[in-house]
Amino acid sequence: MLVIGLGRFGSAVAESLVRMGQEVLAIDEDRALVDRWADELTHVARADTTDDRALRQLGVADFDRAVVAIGTDIEASVLTVLAPAEAGVPDIWAKAITRKHGAILERVGAHHVIYPEYSMGERVAHMLAGGMMDYIEFDDQFSIARTLAPPFTWDKTLAESAPRTKHGVTVVGVKRTGEDFTYARPETAVHRHDHLIVSGPTRSVEKFCNLH
């Protein structure tokens, strides 16, 4: 896996990938960052990330996936995406700070654009405003959330409380304190203090998580 840019976002991605057993080549032009991560990541190299020749010499074309984690310098971000795109890397993820920035990245070759600050801000807002403990929203207005079981589900099976019929959401799983996660079935019983993993249209998930 190739990670270009070792700021907070890039280093977090690279570190997590290594922890999951992935080999990572991380590239940054900042000597201090390269030195900081040299012993933590599989391979770390110092190079001007906007120089396509330098990136090609480092073997960018040999990777199936690349993450361009440069956000604040838009020009550097765009020029950096160009190198793996022109080298034929089939799966390029790029960080953007605005929607316009993201649109430019897509035009020059990014296959996936990530908005970390926006996504995290939206996630925290949902958790603060609703009864959610965790929240993920997809592009097509579909969401998954973790919430405490609302009172109408207590001491009933999912078939009896019927959250899909009554509220338009699907209970994917149930997590009880001190017990393993259980994939939900119609006969799964729900009790007070259980955590439910629910999925469905964003509006429906939001309303369901507020039924407390």
d(CA 3, CA 61): 13
- pLDDT value at 69 more than 70: yes
Q: What is the pTM of this model?
A: 0.68
Condensed to tens digits (0 to 9), the pLDDT of residues 17-67 reads 999 899 999 999 999 999 999 999 999 999 999 998 899 899 999 999 999
- pLDDT value at 130 more than 70: no
Instruction: Determine the pLDDT at residue 210.
Output: 87
Q: Residue 150 has what DSSP assignment?
A: P
Q: What is the dihedral of CA 83, 87, 118, 70, to 10 degrees?
A: -30
d(CA 159, CA 89): 48
Instruction: Determine the pLDDT at residue 43.
Output: 95
Q: Looking at residues 160-178, what average pLDDT do you find?
A: 95
For residue 164, the surrounding DSSP H or E stretch is helix 163-167
- The SS3 call for residue 98 is coil
Per the model's pLDDT, the better-predicted residue between 52 and 130 turns out to be 52
- The SS3 call for residue 43 is strand
- pLDDT value at 15 more than 70: yes
CA distances, 44 to each of 7, 57, 80, 94, 207 (Å)? 13, 14, 17, 19, 46
d(CA 208, CA 166): 10
